[in-house]
């Protein structure tokens, strides 16, 4: 039982001791991978989660690849990795993905 709640106690302690300016803050007990990924929008000054990339087909909008990008990288830096994943997934059906 102690092992099962140990993780939760560690996260609770982390929440209690973290400071507003700390990096690597814990935002959600149930999902420690959640990050503050965007600030400054008038309608929603803070957004929380993990950035994801979704590759879809141009004609039908079929999802042909999806992956997460922790650390909030610049969008332009994620395209090569997203295409690599789509190529790998689509090679079994002899399709070569292209950038729109």
28-55 pLDDT, tens digit each: 888 888 988 776 777 877 888 888 999 8
Q: How high is the pLDDT of residue 14? A: 92
The residues facing 38 across adjacent strands are 47
Q: How high is the pLDDT of residue 15? A: 92
Residue scoring higher pLDDT (95 or 67): 67
Token look-up 């994801």 returns: 52
Q: How high is the pLDDT of residue 2? A: 75
> Using 50, 70 and 90 to split pLDDT, how confident is the model at 100?
low
> Using 50, 70 and 90 to split pLDDT, how confident is the model at 10?
very high
Is the pLDDT confidence value at 26 over 80? yes
Is the pLDDT confidence value at 62 over 70? yes
DSSP of the chain, one letter per residue?
-HHHHHHHHHHHHHHHH--TT-SS----TT-TT-EEEEE--SS-SEEEE-EEEEEE-TTT--EEEEEEETT---GGGTHHHHHHHHHHHHGGGT------
């Amino acid at each position: 039982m102690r092992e099962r709640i140990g993780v939760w106690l560690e996260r609770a302690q982390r929440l209690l001791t973290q400071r507003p300016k700390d990096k690597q803050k814990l935002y959600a007990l149930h999902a420690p991978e959640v990050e503050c990924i965007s600030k400054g929008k008038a309608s929603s000054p803070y957004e929380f989660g993990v950035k994801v990339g979704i590759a879809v087909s141009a004609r039908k909008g079929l999802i042909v690849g999806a992956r997460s990008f922790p650390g909030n990288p610049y969008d332009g830096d994620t395209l090569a990795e997203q295409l690599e994943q789509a190529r790998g997934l689509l090679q079994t059906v002899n399709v070569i993905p292209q950038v729109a």
